[in-house]
Structures are given as structure tokens and as C-alpha cells.
Structure 1
């Protein structure tokens, strides 16, 4: 469990600690405090530490402090705290502050009079309390998601005590890393290390993202499944698409996919919503949409396509059904596909399709004629409309839409 650096600086008793550089990265997570006893720290930290430099056991001149800043940034420490005053480090050299600011490493000054034992006790206690609160929260959410609770009333009471507003309408999003390529392309020990690192980075990213979304809650179920409980706000899909872009960077060799449930009116419906989100996630992992997200309410026939193990068959079906309608030599190569999509959405009504696309009726008629000419099919043929609707659904979800 971890706390953001800015949360630590707000702990009662730590008001004397002053940020001297790296203000923009105070959201970095602190896993534990570490007091640097050696000349360098690169060999002694793994990332996420709040490193304290006292100068008691080793001289800390400007050159050494600059080296610590470089090492801390390279290894990924959460921040660097330098104790000043007393008979050791009198002040932080300006060049050290300047370099930390350039790197974005949070550099904090602590007066020597503020005892280290007090500071580390406060931070350690806060981390333990955070871990306990997180376990309680995950326990409550896990019970509601699985339906494994002795009493729904008690579960709601516990949620209210933890200030979890779970009785409002929410969407559930299930996500996980797809680690097949990680374990296929790396030796077992290295693969496991990469996997655990990616899992932790994913958890940190989700927590940071949820802090920017009013009412958002994240939890991790046993295994590798992460769950987001999100208010049904406007442009939720757009926000999740941006989140997916962040997660892809973290995932590296491992892919990451999301499945979203229908709207759950309150926590009594979380079990069903989780089942929907998992089904949508399975489809997302199989079809690999460009957005990384599948919405259960839009799956329909895609749940049947999920049973086709050869993805080439699906791609071939889409290509045979729609491929001729992509006019690569034109300014708007996907115009016919958008027209076909609008016609299917309007049940073949050309006037409604024209209004939806903001086009003149004559333009729609011309495009309808071209669709039939290029496809060799009639828009009046119910079989073609069915095939086209399925192919369009797949096309919208795949990387093809990224080429528009």
C-alpha cells in the first residue's frame, strides 16, 4: 500500500517539511521511508521510496547530493528529503535544487530539529492505516461484487462507514493485463519480475486516475482482475479511452483490455454487473478493439463471435463484406461505410440517414447506388443488411477505425 507524497506532507506534525523542487510530481506514491546511510543509493533502493539524507554517516557535499538526485531519478524514488541544520548539511546547494527541478524529482527540506524518529513513525503509521483501510474497502467491495456477504444491510452499513457511496447508479469496468507475450518472450525469472512490476504500475495508475474522477472507486479482486466502479457521467467512454492510452504505456509487452457493464442501479446489482463486465472483457481480449474497451450493452452477436478461435476468419468476413466500400484513393475513404452505418441505424430510411449525416437526399441516393455497385449486393436484401450490420460492429471496434 502507498500514500501520495502530497498526502504525507499534509500529515499532522510534518508542517515544517518544505518542498524545494519537483512540486509538479507530488502525486507520486510513497511505499516506505528509507534513510540513506551509504555514499550512493542506486544499489539500495528499488523505486517508490521516500529517501532521507541526514549527512550523519557520510559527508554530503554538493557533488554527492547531485549524485543522489541523479540516482534517485534514475531508480524512480518517490522523493528525496534532505535534513538541514545542526552540524551536518547546513543548506541545500542551489545547483542541487535546480537539477532536481529539471528532472522533476520532488526535493524536500527537513529541519534537523524535526526528529527522524518522529517523521518515520508518522509516515509508517499512516502507511499501516492506509493498508488497513484499503483491505477493509476491498473486502466490502469484494463481497458486493461476488454476492458473498452475510447481509446486504450490513455490507451497506460498512460501505457507509468507509464513506463509499455505493448506492448510486454505477458502471463496472473489469480490466486485466494480458501477459501471454511477457511469459513467452522472456525467461521465467525476468518475466515474473516484469509481470509484478507491471501489475503494481497498473494499480498505481488506476488509483491516480480515480483520484481525478469524482466518485470513482477501484478495487483488486483475488487474482489479476481490477475493477472500477464509476458514476455514469457524460463522455465516460472518452475518459476510459484516455485511461487505456495511459495503461498501454505501462503495460509494455503485455496488452491491457477493459470490459464495461450495463448500468447497475445500486450495490445490490454489482454481482450481475461484474458478470457482464467480465463477459465484455473476454470479448475485448479476443477481438482487441482499438479503444481497448468493450461495452456489454453493445455486444450482442459479438459474444457468439468470441467462440471463433481463428481471428483470421473474422477479419476475412469483415473484409469480404465491407472491404470494397473503402475507397482509399478518395479524400474521405470511409464515406460509404459511414453512409451504410447510418442507413442500417435508420432501418434503411434514406431521409433519416441523410439527416443523421447532414447530407442532401440526392447525395444519400448516390452513395446508396455506389454501395450496391461496389458490393454487388442490394440494400433491400435482409441477409446483406444483417451481414453488413455485424461487419460494421466489428469494424468499429478494431484498429481499422484508427485509420479514419
Structure 2
């Protein structure tokens, strides 16, 4: 839950504000109102602001307004409000409206007679209240999703008090941006951080906007980079999530995005198990890279069998026996042979394609293949070994992912 531009326009006392451009993007979240006092904007905003332009302290001709739009769009502001009708800005030039529409940057006109002190007070108060509600809801959901609550009964009561609808069966979606490391390598820490945070902000906006259009849909963000959706189990859910993935890819920029879908949680007491299932499905999606970006836990076959093994030590022993000889903890790349085996399994034993997947020379792959067979005492041509290795690799990848959470 957050305050979007469309929410602000519905606040009491702000009915005179009129959308002039980019009404399609009114789901953008507003971080805070900011009154632009300087000639430019780029140095004074961080993204997510609703920028007010009065013309009081600086002339605001058509050229300056166009420049402000470009600066604001580049910085990721939520929208721009231009005050008109006073002695400073008589009206919004058509070229400014056209430019805002082209950029997709919401442009709002505010009559000068509507006092700024009233507008900023109304918006600021609503933002504080919304932040408090959101923090409370995230806290409740976080406790239910992790199982870290003092009392399930109290958690239910808190959810009801916060008007958090958790009634009925739910399925949980875990989603995460992928290829983040490459973003920082290409752009460096400073620019990479800006792009990363901007993308996360746009992703949150899209998720919240999507949930608003689906009854009883709830979004939450856990500590770290994992986004979570709690959704009613409806017949068109899979199709809707595929459409959501396409929508989110449009804002993911240079990064990829994958989703994992849990089985049905009949009650909020099962949310922790559902989160575990969704994470495992997400890990498979990140490794297998399906075209839809989505993996459903209920369709993962062997993964469901592994989930049913209560004694975790059985799985750990199986992984140690199958993959343990291939690890080299003291080396710079201790898991190089494991990643090579994984690539070979994904490419049906084709060394050339495995090398391309890993970005290494064919001779290196051949040497690693020989080393894998020597250390494991198994042949890569043996279908039984390949089956055991594939299952062990699946368990290992899940374990590694959960350890990084």
C-alpha cells in the first residue's frame, strides 16, 4: 500500500488539480512533494518526488518548462505540477503538454488560487499516514511469511485491524531482478546504484498498480531484494502472471526478472511454507530461464518429491556423495567443476554449448569434463549418473540460494 498520483488527486481539497498529460501513468508512487525554486531540477531531486513549479522565484517560459520536464524525467520524479492563473505562469504551453505526454511524465495543472501551503499540508499528512499503514502491513506480512510471530491469533487480529484481507486460499509469488551484478560491472558503483534503485522503484510502482486492479491482491517486500505477492487462487492466475512478467520486463531495463509461484496456502498459517515453495520455484526459473519468466512449484515434479523428505540430512548426504568430490574449497573458484557439470546437464552433455554458456574455451571444458569423471569415478555418458547429478545440482542450487537470502 502506498500513495500514488491518482490517490493524491482524490484527496479532500485537491479536486481543482487537473491532469494535463500522461494520465496513463498516474499509478506512480509519490515519495514527497518538492517545490522547484531553482532554474534547473537535476541537482535537487532523487526520484519519486511530485515537483511543484510556481514561477515565483524564477521565470518559467516554455523553454525552461521543457528543460524541467526533461530533468525530472531523467531523475525519475513521479510527476510535475504547474501552478497557473497568477501573475507568474498564465498557462501551460501546448509544447510542454506534448512533451510530457511523449515522456509519459504525468503533468498536472493547479490553479494559483489553491494555496501551496494547503496542498503540501494535505499531501504531506496523507504520505505520513500511508507510510505508517504500509510499515504496519509489511511488518504483519513479514511475520506471517517468515513464521516469526509471537502469536498467530494476534497476527490475525493485527491484519484485520490494518484492513489487510487475508481470508481464503492464497498463492504466493516470489520475484526478483536478475543480472544485477552485470549492471554494476558495466556502469560502476555510483551509476549502477542509481540505476538499480531507480529500477526497484519502478518495479514497486508497477506491482502496486497491478495489485490495485485485482481484488484482494497484496504486495510486500521482505528484507533484501525479494518481492512478494499474495494472490487469490483464481482460474486465470497463470495467464495474469505471464502478462505481469511482460509488463515488469518493460521497466527492468538491462536486467532480467523471474518469478516463482507457490502451491495453495489455505490459511495464513501456511504462508511460511508457501514462501519456501515460491523461493524454490524462483530458483528453478532463474536457472532454467523459461520464456514466461515463471515457474510453478506444483509443476516441478522431482522438486515436490524432495520437498516431501522430512529428514534434511538425507538430502545433504546425497548431495555430498554426488557432488562433494567436485568441490575445491581452497581454490579461487571452488565450484568451477559444479558450474561446469550444471552447464553440461543443461546442454545434454554437449561440451561446445556448455562452454558457450559458461563463456570458456572448449579445451577448458574438455579438461573439466575429464576432471569431473576422475573425481566422481563416474562417466558423464552414464544416464544414471546424469540423473543423480541433476537432482543433486537442483538441491545444491536451492541450498545456495537460501543461504544468500
Equivalent residue number for residue 177 of structure 1:
177
- TM-superposed CA distance for 1:233, in Å, is 1.0
**Counterpart contact for 2:34–2:49, Cα < 8 Å:** yes
The alpha-carbon deviation at position 216 of structure 1 amounts to: 1.0
Task: Output the CA distance in 1 between the equivalents of 2:102 and 2:194.
Answer: 30
Relative to structure 1, the CA distance from residue 264 to residue 16 in structure 2 (aligned partners, 3 Å threshold; closer, same or farther) is: same
Per the alignment, residue 46 of structure 1 pairs with 46
Deviation at 1:318, TM superposition (A): 8.5
1:317 paired residue among 348, 357, 362? 348
Residue 247 to residue 104, structure 1, CA distance change in 2 (3 Å): closer
Q: 1:203 to 1:114 in 2, by over 3 A?
A: same
Q: Identify if the C-alpha distance between structure 1 residues 102 and 313 changes in structure 2 by more than 3 Å, giving closer, same or farther.
A: closer
How far did residue 62 of structure 1 move? 3.2
Q: Which residue of 2 aligns with 1:151?
A: 151
**What's 1:34 paired with?**
34
The structural deviation recorded for 1:27 is: 2.0
1:36 Cα offset (Å): 1.0
In structure 2, the residue matched to 1:279 is 280
Note the C-alpha offset of 1:186: 4.1
**Could you say which residue in structure 2 is the equivalent of 1:10?**
10
Report if the CA contact (8 A) 1:175-1:256 is conserved: yes
Matches within 5 A, 1:192-211: 192-211=193-212
1:130-158 deviations in Å (ceiling 9; x for gaps): 11111100111111111111221111111
SS at 2:174's partner residue? strand
Counterpart CA distance in 2 for 1:228 and 1:302 is: 22
Q: Which moved more, 1:129-138 or 1:288-297?
A: 288-297
Render the CA deviation track for 1:165-202: whole Å, top value 9, x for unaligned: 21210101111223233344443333333332332222
Query: Is the alpha carbon distance of 1:261 and 1:101 closer, same or farther for their aligned partners in structure 2, counting shifts above 3 Å?
Result: closer
CA contact (8 A) 1:283 1:302 kept: no
1:207-245 residue CA offsets vs partner (Å, 9 max, x unmatched): 122122222111011111111101111121121112222
Return the alpha-carbon distance in structure 2 between the equivalents of residues 281 and 126 of structure 1.
36
Equivalent residues of 2:76, 2:198 under 8 A apart = no
Structure 1, residues 338-395: CA drift from partner, whole Å, max 9, x if none?
A: xxxxxxxxxxxxxxxxxxxxxxxxxxxxxxxxxxxxxxxxxxxxx99xx9xx9xxx9x
Say if 1:212 and 1:312 are closer, same or farther in 2 by CA, change over 3 A: same
1:263 aligns with 2:264: yes
Residue 141 of structure 2: aligned partner: 141
CA contact (8 A) 1:47 1:77 kept: yes
* Conserved 8 A contact 1:33-1:50: yes
- Which consecutive unaligned segments of at least 5 residues does structure 1 have? 321-382, 395-404
Between 1:131-140 and 1:310-319, the stretch displaced more is 310-319
Q: What's the Cα RMSD here?
A: 3.0
Largest Rg, 1 or 2: 1
Q: State the 1:319 CA deviation.
A: 8.1
**How many residues end up aligned between the 2 structures?**
327
Structure 2: gaps (5+ residues)? 307-317, 324-337, 352-382, 395-405
Q: CA deviation at 1:285?
A: 2.0
By how many angstroms is 1:254 displaced? 3.0
Question: Which sits farther off after the overlay, 60-69 or 207-216?
Answer: 60-69
Residues 115-137 of structure 1: per-residue CA shift (max 9 Å, x gap): 11111111111111111111100
**Distance 1:298-1:203 versus aligned 2 partners, 3 A rule:** same
Whether the 8 Å CA contact 1:258–1:293 is kept in 2: the answer is yes
The 1-side partners of 2:13 and 2:21 are apart by 21
- Change in Cα spacing, 1:95 to 1:274, as seen in structure 2 (3 Å) is closer
Judged with a 3 Å threshold, the aligned counterparts in structure 2 of structure 1 residues 86 and 214 are, in CA distance, closer, same or farther, namely same
In the alignment, is the contact (CA less than 8 A) between 1:259 and 1:277 conserved in 2?
yes
Q: CA 1:96–1:40 in structure 2 vs 1: closer, same or farther (change >3 Å)?
A: same
Q: Which moved more, 1:216-225 or 1:172-181?
A: 172-181
Cα-to-partner distance string for 1:247-277 (whole Å, 9 max, x where unaligned): 3333333332211111010111111111111
Please give the residue correspondences for 1:368-387 in structure 2 after superposition, counting only pairs within 5 Å: none
Q: Are residues 292 and 99 of structure 1, via their aligned partners in 2, closer, same or farther at CA, if it must alter by over 3 Å?
A: closer
**What secondary structure, in the 3-state scheme, does the structure 2 residue paired with 1:317 have?**
coil
User: 2:52, 2:83 within 8 Å by CA — same for their partners in 1?
Assistant: yes
State the partner residue of 2:229: 228
SS at 1:173 equivalent: strand
Task: State whether residues 264 and 274 of structure 2, in contact with CA within 8 Å, keep that contact through their aligned partners in structure 1.
Answer: yes
- Residue by residue over 1:48-95, the C-alpha shift from the partner in whole angstroms, topping out at 9 and shown as x without a partner, is 221111111112233333333343344433222122233322333344
